[in-house]
C-alpha cells in the first residue's frame, strides 16, 4: 500500500510498522477524530481460494473483529473500527508504545527476563484472560508475539480472533493430510494438537508455555522439529522451570507446571483462580522476599483493574486523591521508531504485534498545546496528567462512570491551573467530565460542562471545528435528557448544518448527528418526520458503512421504533426481526443488542394480538438473559415483565400476578422501592388483582404507586396523573363513584395547570 493511502476516507496510512504472514501493520492518523492509530491490513484474498471460501473468510473476519471490538479491558488491545477497502480487510486499533514478549527476549539475547517482571507479566495476563473468558472469548493463539508490554509496564494481549480467521474453512486450520490443528507449535495445548474442541483452559496451557519461556529463556519443549514439539506437548512431562533457573519462586514453579498439565481438568479452574494464586504468591512472605518489594495492589482492588507491579524507578505521580490502582493506567507517549519488525522464532505473524505507540483519548483527543503566556509546566507534570486522563478514559470504557468522573474532575482542575482554562487539554478534560455526568444521571451538571467546553473551543478552535461540534452535539444530547427536546432540536439542527458544510452529508459524524436528530424528533411528537429521517439515515449508513454495521442497525432499530409509534406494528415487527437476525449474525445471539431487538419483537407481537407467540419469545429471552446477565439483571427482569404482561393478555391472571409479584420484589431489592421500573411492576400487580376481582386489594396497590410517583416526580407529572386515574377507575369498580369523580376533577385541574 502506498503511504499516502486514505482508507474509507478516514484513516491515512503514515508509515509501515511491521509485516508478517497475515499482512501489515501501519501507523496511521484517524482524520475524523484527529488521533494516531494502528491499522492492520490483512493480505488480500488470493485467487487460489474459490469464491465460497473468500466469502466465508470475509464473514469470519467481520464476526471476529466485532468480538474483538467488544472487549474493553486495560489488558486487551482496543479495536476501534474494522472493514474492507478495495479488497483489503483492515482493523483499526489503539497505537501502543512497547515491545512484545518475543522482542523482549530477543533484545535480551534470549536470556530470561527478570523474575519480578516475569511474575508481573503473568499476573496481568491472568486477569486479562479472566475478563475475556468471562465474555465467552478464547484466544486460541496465545504466544509471546501476541503479548505486549508497554513502556509504563502495562501488559496487553493482542490479536483476539485474528489468528483464527481460517479455522472454519480448513485452509489454515490443519496440517495437510494429518488432521492436526495448525497453530504455533511451541505454544499449542494437547487438545489443540489432537484436533478436539478447546475451551478457556487451552489458553491457560499456552500461557504456561509463554511463562516458561520468558522465565527460563527456552520454551518447555525446545526442539527443532515441529512434529517433535507437538509430540512433546502431547506425551512428555516438562522439566520444572527451576531446573533451568533456581532463583524462580517455588509458587511460580508450581503454577507453571499446573498450567502445563496434559488434561484440562488438571489445570487451574479458570484464569481468575490463576490470578488469585499469582497475587497471593507475589504478596505472601516468600514472594515479597524473593521479588524484593511489597505488594503494589490493595486487597480491595477489583481484578479487572489490577495494576502492574511497580517498576524500579517508576514515579508514583503526584495524585494523592486518586485510588492507587489508577497509577500506570496509560498507553504511554508516541514513539519515533518506524523500522520494520523482524519476526521472532521464525513466526511469520510476529511482526503484526510489533512496536505501536499510544493513540490518546476515545472521544476528545487532546490537541497540541496552544500558545500561552503561562510558564510551560515541567514535562513530568504534563506526563502525570496525561496518564491520569487516560486512566479516566479506561474507567469509562469499563462502565465505571462515577470513578471516571472523579479522575477527570481532578485532572481538569490541575490542567486549568497549569495550562489555562482554554487550553485544548483542559477543555478535553472538561469534556470528559461532562460525558461522565451525562452517563450518571446528572444532565444539568453535564450541560454546564459542555456549555463551558463549547464556548472555550469556539474561542480557540472556531465554531465549525470538529471538536467544537462534538461538544455542541453532546449539549443537545443532555438537553434531551432534561426533557428540553425543542432546545435540543435547535442545537442538533445547527450542528448538522455545520457538519454537512464542513464534512459532507455522508461523513460518519454527520450521519450520527442526523440519527440523533431523528431520535429527538420522535420525542417532539413529530413521528412522521422522525420516521422519514431515520429511514434516510439507515439507507445512508448502509451505503457508507454496510448493511450489517452496528451503526446501521441502530438506526434501523430507530426506524422500527418510529413505525411502532405510528401504529404500523406489522412493519415495525418485520424491521425489528431483520435487525435481530442481523445482530445475531454480526454480534452473536447473546449480544445485548441482539437480545434488545428480540425484546422489541415481543412488544410488536403483543401489540398485534399475537400474545401466544410473544409469550414463547419472552420465555426464551428470560432464559437467555438469565444465562448472560443473571436473574437480578435489569434486562432479565424487563423480559420477565413482558412475559407477565402477555400471560395477562392470554387471561392467565393467576400466573401473571405471581410473575408480577416476583419481578416487583426483585426490583425493589435491587433498584429500590421508588425506582420507575419497580413502580411499573407494582402497578402490574394491581392490574392482576383487578382482573381477578380483588378490587379492594388493587386499590391499595394503585394508591401506593400514585403516592410514590407524586413523591418522586411531582403531583402533576404524567405518570403520577395516570396513577391517580388508575385509582379512580378502581374506585368506580368498587361502587365509590363520588370519590372517583373527585379524583378525576383533580387530575383534570393538574393537567390544565401543566398546559
The answer to whether 144 and 184 have CB atoms below 8 angstroms apart is no
Angstrom distance (rounded) from CA 630 to CA 640: 12
The closest of 643, 616, 638, 609 to 625, measured between CA atoms, is: 638
Cβ-based neighbour number of residue 482 at 10 Å = 13
pLDDT recorded at residue 163: 44
Task: Please compute the mean of the pLDDT values over residues 345-356 and round it to a whole number.
Answer: 31
Poorest-pLDDT segment among 291-305, 318-332, 643-657, 715-729: 318-332
Can you give the pLDDT at residue 312? 29
| pLDDT, tens only, 702-738 | 999 999 999 988 888 888 999 999 999 999 999 999 9
What angle (nearest 5°) sits at the alpha carbon of residue 462, between those of residues 458 and 467?
75
pLDDT digits (tens, 9 = 90+) for 93-146: 988 888 999 999 988 887 899 999 999 999 999 999 999 998 888 888 899 988
- Interior angle at CA 190, CA 188 and CA 196, nearest 5: 105
49 neighbors 33 (Cβ within 8 angstroms): no
- The residue-averaged pLDDT of 575-596 equals 91
**Catalytic site residue from 30, 141, 159, 509:** 141
Cell 478514559 belongs to residue:
393
Cα–Cα distance for residue pair 604/554, rounded to 1 Å: 18
Is residue 484 within 8 Å of residue 523, measured between CB atoms?
A: no
| pLDDT value, residue 566 | 93
Q: Of 415, 326, 418, which is closest to residue 374 (Cα–Cα)?
A: 418
pLDDT of residue 307 exceeding 70, the answer is no
pLDDT tens digit string along 197-256?
Answer: 788 999 999 999 999 999 999 999 887 666 678 778 888 899 999 999 999 999 999 999
Give the strand pairing for 88-94 and 79-85: antiparallel
pLDDT number for residue 19: 75
Output the pLDDT for position 225: 65
Give the least confident one: 63-67, 91-95, 614-618: 63-67
pLDDT digits (tens, 9 = 90+) for 358-371: 233 333 333 444 44
Residue 92 has pLDDT above 80, yes or no: yes
Residue 334 assigned to a binding site: no
Distance CA(452)–CA(431), nearest Å, equals 9
pLDDT digits (tens, 9 = 90+) for 684-711: 999 999 999 999 999 999 999 999 999 9
Structure confidence at residue 56 (pLDDT): 61
Q: What is the reported pLDDT for 754? A: 65
Is 224 annotated in the active site? Answer: no
Cα separation of 449 and 464, whole Å?
Answer: 19
Residue 257 pLDDT more than 50? Answer: yes
Give the integer Cα–Cα distance in Å for 201 and 261.
10
Residue 466: all three cell numbers together: 470538529
526-546 mean pLDDT:
93
How high is the mean pLDDT of the chain? 81
Q: What is the pLDDT of residues 496-512, one digit of tens each?
A: 999 999 989 988 889 99
Q: What is the pLDDT of residue 21?
A: 57
Please give the residue that has the higher pLDDT: either 120 or 24.
Answer: 120
Q: Is residue 303 over pLDDT 80?
A: no
pLDDT value of position 604: 95
Q: Which domains does the chain have, with CATH numbers?
A: 6-94 (3.30.200.20), 98-306 (1.10.510.10)
Confidence class for position 650, pLDDT limits 50, 70, 90: very high
Three-state DSSP class for 75?
coil
Q: Residue 344 — very low, low, confident or very high, per pLDDT cuts 50/70/90?
A: very low
- pLDDT for the residue 4: 55
Amino acid at each position: 500500500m502506498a503511504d499516502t493511502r486514505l482508507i474509507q476516507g478516514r484513516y491515512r496510512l503514515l508509515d509501515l510498522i511491521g509485516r508478517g504472514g497475515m499482512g501489515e501493520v501501519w501507523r496511521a492518523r484517524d482524520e475524523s477524530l484527529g488521533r494516531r492509530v494502528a491499522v492492520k491490513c490483512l493480505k488480500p484474498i488470493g485467487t487460489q481460494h474459490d469464491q465460497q471460501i473468500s466469502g466465508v473468510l470475509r464473514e469470519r473476519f467481520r464476526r471476529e473483529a466485532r468480538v474483538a471490538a467488544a472487549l474493553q479491558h486495560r489488558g486487551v488491545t482496543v479495536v476501534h473500527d474494522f472493514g474492507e477497502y478495495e479488497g483489503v480487510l483492515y482493523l483499526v486499533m489503539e497505537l501502543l508504545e512497547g515491545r512484545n514478549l518475543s522482542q523482549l527476549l530477543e533484545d535480551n539475547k534470549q536470556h530470561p527476563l527478570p523474575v519480578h517482571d516475569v511474575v508481573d507479566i503473568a499476573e496481568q495476563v491472568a486477569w486479562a484472560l479472566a475478563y475475556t473468558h468471562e465474555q465467552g472469548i478464547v484466544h486460541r493463539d496465545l504466544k509471546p508475539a501476541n503479548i505486549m508490554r508497554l513502556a509504563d509496564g502495562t501488559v496487553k494481549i493482542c490479536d483476539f480472533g485474528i489468528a483464527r480467521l481460517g479455522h472454519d474453512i480448513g485452509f489454515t486450520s490443519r496440517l495437510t493430510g494429518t488432521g492436526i490443528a495448525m497453530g504455533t507449535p511451541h505454544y499449542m495445548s494437547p487438545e489443540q494438537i489432537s484436533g478436539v474442541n478447546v475451551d478457556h483452559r487451552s489458553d491457560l496451557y499456552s500461557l504456561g508455555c509463554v511463562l516458561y519461556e520468558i522465565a527460563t529463556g527456552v520454551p518447555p519443549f525446545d526442539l527443532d522439529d515441529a512434529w517433535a514439539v507437538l509430540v512433546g506437548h502431547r506425551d512428555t512431562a516438562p522439566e520444572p522451570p527451576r531446573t533451568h533457573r533456581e532463583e524462580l519462586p517455588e509458587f511460580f514453579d508450581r503454577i507453571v507446571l499446573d498450567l502445563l498439565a496434559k488434561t484440562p481438568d488438571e489445570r487451574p479452574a479458570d484464569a481468575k483462580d490463576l490470578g488469585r494464586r499469582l497475587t497471593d504468591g507475589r504478596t505472601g512472605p516468600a514472594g515479597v522476599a524473593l521479588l524484593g518489594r511489597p505488594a503494589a495492589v490493595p486487597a480491595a482492588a477489583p481484578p479487572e483493574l489490577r495494576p502492574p507491579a511497580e517498576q524500579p524507578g517508576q514515579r508514583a505521580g503526584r495524585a494523592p486523591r486518586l485510588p492507587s490502582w489508577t497509577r500506570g493506567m496509560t498507553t504511554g507517549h508516541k514513539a519515533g521508531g518506524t523500522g520494520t519488525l523482524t519476526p521472532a522464532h521464525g513466526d511469520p505473524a510476529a511482526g503484526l504485534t510489533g512496536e505501536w505507540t499510544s493513540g490518546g483519548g476515545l472521544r476528545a483527543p487532546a490537541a497540541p498545546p496552544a500558545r500561552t503566556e503561562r510558564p510551560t509546566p515541567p514535562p513530568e507534570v504534563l506526563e502525570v496528567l496525561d496518564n491520569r486522563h487516560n486512566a479516566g478514559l479506561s474507567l469509562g470504557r469499563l462502565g465505571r462512570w462515577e470513578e471516571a468522573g472523579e479522575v477527570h474532575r481532578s485532572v481538569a482542575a490541575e490542567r486549568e491551573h497549569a495550562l489555562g482554562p482554554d487550553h485544548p487539554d483542559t477543555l478535553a478534560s472538561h469534556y470528559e467530565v461532562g460525558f461522565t455526568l451525562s452517563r450518571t444521571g446528572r444532565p444539568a451538571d453535564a450541560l454546564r460542562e459542555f456549555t463551558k467546553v463549547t464556548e472555550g473551543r469556539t474561542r480557540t478552535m472556531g465554531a465549525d471545528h470538529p471538536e467544537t461540534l462534538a461538544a455542541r452535539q453532546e449539549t443537545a444530547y443532555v438537553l434531551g435528557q432534561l426533557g428540553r427536546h425543542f432546545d435540543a432540536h435547535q442545537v442538533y439542527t445547527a450542528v448538522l448544518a455545520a457538519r454537512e458544510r464542513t464534512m459532507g452529508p455522508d461523513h460518519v459524524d454527520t450521519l450520527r448527528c442526523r440519527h440523533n436528530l431523528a431520535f429527538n424528533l420522535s420525542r417532539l411528537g413529530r413521528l412522521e418526520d422522525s420516521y422519514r429521517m431515520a429511514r434516510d439515515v439507515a439507507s445512508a449508513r448502509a451505503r457508507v458503512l454496510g448493511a450489517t454495521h452496528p451503526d446501521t442497525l441502530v438506526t434501523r432499530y430507530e426506524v422500527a421504533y418510529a413505525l411502532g409509534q405510528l401504529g404500523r406494528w406489522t412493519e415495525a415487527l418485520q424491521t425489528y426481526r431483520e435487525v435481530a437476525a442481523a445482530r445475531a449474525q454480526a454480534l452473536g445471539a447473546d449480544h445485548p443488542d441482539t437480545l434488545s431487538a428480540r425484546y422489541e419483537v415481543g412488544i410488536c407481537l403483543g401489540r398485534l394480538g399475537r400474545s401466544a407467540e410473544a409469550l414463547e419469545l419472552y420465555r426464551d429471552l428470560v432464559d437467555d438473559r438469565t444465562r448472560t446477565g443473571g436473574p437480578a439483571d435489569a434486562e432479565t427482569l424487563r423480559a420477565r415483565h413482558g412475559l407477565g404482561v402477555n400471560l395477562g393478555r392470554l387471561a392467565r391472571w393467576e400466573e401473571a400476578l405471581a410473575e408480577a409479584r416476583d419481578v416487583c420484589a426483585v426490583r425493589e431489592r435491587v433498584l429500590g422501592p421508588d425506582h420507575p421500573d419497580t413502580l411499573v411492576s407494582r402497578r402490574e400487580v394491581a392490574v392482576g388483582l383487578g382482573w381477578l376481582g380483588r378490587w379492594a386489594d388493587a386499590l391499595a396497590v394503585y394508591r401506593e404507586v400514585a403516592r410514590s410517583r407524586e413523591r418522586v416526580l411531582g403531583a402533576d407529572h404524567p405518570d403520577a396523573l395516570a396513577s391517580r386515574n388508575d385509582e379512580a377507575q378502581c374506585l368506580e369498580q368498587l361502587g365509590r363513584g363520588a370519590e372517583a369523580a373527585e379524583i378525576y376533577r383533580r387530575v383534570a385541574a393538574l393537567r390544565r395547570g401543566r398546559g
